[in-house]
Amino acid sequence: MFFPAGPKRTETLTALWKISKVILNTLDFNHVVQNVVDSLLFELNYLKRGYRIIVLTLIDEKSWTLRRISLSQTEEAQKAQAASAVPFHQIEIPLTAVDNLLIKVINERKAGVTSYWPDLFKPVLTVEQALANQSAAGVKTSLIYPVITREKVVGALIFSLIKDIKDVTEEEQDLLGGFTDLVGLAVQNSSLYSSLQATTIQLKEANERLKVMDKLKDDFVSIASHELRTPMTAIRSYAWMALHRSGTPLSQTLEKYITRILISTERLINLVNDMLNVSRIESGKVEINPESVDLKLLVKDIVDEVYFSKSEEKRVEFVVAEKPVPKAFADPEKLRQVFLNLVGNSLKFTPAGGRITFDFFSDGHTVDISVIDTGVGISKDDAGKLFNKFSRLDSSYTAAATSGGTGLGLYISKNLVELMHGQIKVYSEGLGKGATFTVTLPVASAEILEKADQYRVKAQGEAKGLEPVAI
Ligand SMILES: Nc1ncnc2c1ncn2[C@@H]1O[C@H](COP(=O)(O)OP(=O)(O)OP(=O)(O)O)[C@@H](O)[C@H]1O
Ligand SMILES: [Mg+2]
């Protein structure tokens, strides 16, 4: 933009500065576009210079038209509107109408001038209709400037005057140019702001919908799983009794079939329990009641339980390190769930003849309990994935020739341990080299026991009336 030097230039800049404050004072799109068409006439009193109507038009990329957006609030504008055969906002010029002066200004990015309104209204209004509007407004000259934001033409401004073009001074033209640049900026800011606002509202709504759906999902999983557990437990009991307590000798085939029913049902029960646990964790319905826990006793109980149910057939040796261990500060039930899963995994992935060792370490503040096995191990690449939901490594299952497992156990364990202010980590030298899972927990010091209440985790939301489930 060329500005004349000297006092005229200062005047133009002062006027622009004054007007910029009016246009840029709000980000609301509707306000901005109205300020744009009124400020020049009323703030700078361009009415005195013969300016009567200012119209802002903007390109609508959806309908591929140039739409009239705002119109200054002057008497002449009202007269033109009253005379118009088509209401102001419905005058939409197709961008393909290249003989319309507005479209020409937009395409050539160069200001234009006319004293013949049909140039501005074709093909929407007939020549007679456009001329009727012009005579109602008493306009002699219209100047058109392209509105540009970020190098892109977004519309055009029409300045209509009751004087001849030869009476428009150079200073006025400079001001109109500078003013149009300002309008570009204001339109860009306000439409960015409006779209940001619209996006924020949409995001908020989407978020609300997601929350509702998430709750529905949680409720569905809780209810479906809970309903499934009762019949499945019955199937398991009857299958077990048919195998062990029927009093009738079974044929080999029948025994094989019932054994399969038992195994499959157990797998299903585990899956449902896992899903219930995940749903409780994710909907904040887990309660943690920490207290002082004797880790050696806990480990002994778990070994007894697992040994009794599974290890005989697997012939895996259990070793518990003989060393003094401080008591841990944890929820005993939740800790039991964690270790049942860790030991269950070690058993699953350690072939017969292997060993599972429990080791302990403490620095006085925290205590580590490690479950060390001599099983199939974990590759370095896979070690990071284990604690994700549904992370079943095919390599472990293939190497251990075992089946079953959902890949939820470690995800649940990690969440439970973290709710107890602890950590769980995995170490493995690689495939075939065994695995070590270490759980670190706070030591149950007198200090921490005194503040036990602060470490309690209460279930959020209403309780579902479901009893806790074991993994
Ligand atoms: N001791 C281990 N040795 C080798 N791989 C292991 C060991 N523990 C876990 N993994 C690997 O980590 C995966 C995830 O374990 P996680 O306990 O989460 O699932 P899972 O035992 O397969 O199924 P789930 O516990 O839900 O019944 C396992 O599928 C297995 O690939
Ligand atoms: Mg597991």
Distance CA 102, CA 118 (A): 11
Residue of 382, 375, 384 lying closest to 351 (CA atoms): 375
> Domain map of the chain by residue range?
7-200, 288-455
Using the structure block, give the residue that is written with the tokens 């509702």: 212
Give Dmax (Cα) for the chain: 117
The residue whose CA is least distant from atom 31 of ligand 1 is 393
State whether the beta carbon of 71 lies less than 6 angstroms from ligand 1: no
7-40 burial: b if 16+ Cβ within 10 Å, else e:
eeeeebeebbeebbebbeebbebeebbbbbbbbb
69 lines ligand 1 (CB under 6 A): no
Give me ligand 2 centre to Cα 373, in Å.
14
For ligand 1, is residue 154 a contact (CB within 6 Å)? no
Does the CB atom of residue 340 touch ligand 1 within 6 A? no
Closest by Cα among 346, 337, 303, 361 to 415: 337
Q: Which ligand is nearest to the CA of 398?
A: 1
Do the Cβ atoms of 72 and 183 come closer than 8 Å? Answer: no
Pocket test for ligand 1, best of 345, 433, 471 (most atoms within 8 A of CB): 345
391: Cβ below 6 Å to ligand 1?
A: yes
pLDDT, position 309: 67
The answer to whether the CB of 372 is under 6 A from ligand 1 is no
Model pTM above 0.95: no
H-assigned helices in 167-283 = 170-244, 252-282
pLDDT tens, per residue, the chain with 471 residues: 444 555 567 777 787 887 787 777 777 888 888 888 898 898 888 999 999 999 999 999 889 999 999 999 999 999 999 999 999 999 999 999 999 999 999 999 999 999 999 999 999 999 999 999 999 999 999 999 999 988 889 999 999 999 999 999 988 888 899 889 888 888 888 877 677 778 888 899 999 999 888 888 888 887 887 788 888 999 999 999 999 887 888 899 999 999 999 988 988 888 888 888 888 888 888 889 999 999 999 999 998 888 766 555 567 899 999 999 999 999 999 999 999 999 999 999 999 899 999 999 999 999 999 999 999 999 988 888 899 988 888 777 777 767 667 889 999 999 999 999 999 999 999 888 999 999 999 999 999 999 888 888 887 754 443 344 443
- 408 CB within 6 A, ligand 1: yes
Q: Ligand 1, atom 5: nearest CA belongs to which residue?
A: 396
Residue 142 CB–ligand 1 contact under 6 Å = no
Q: Name the CATH architecture for the domain at 288-455.
A: 2-Layer Sandwich (3.30)
Q: From the CA of 384, how far away is ligand 2's center (Å)? A: 16
Cα–Cα distance measured from residue 197 to residue 205, given in angstroms and rounded to the nearest whole number: 12
Q: CB count, 10 Å around CB of 224?
A: 14
The CATH number of the structural domain formed by 7-200 is: 3.30.450.40
Residue closest by Cα to atom 12 of ligand 1: 386
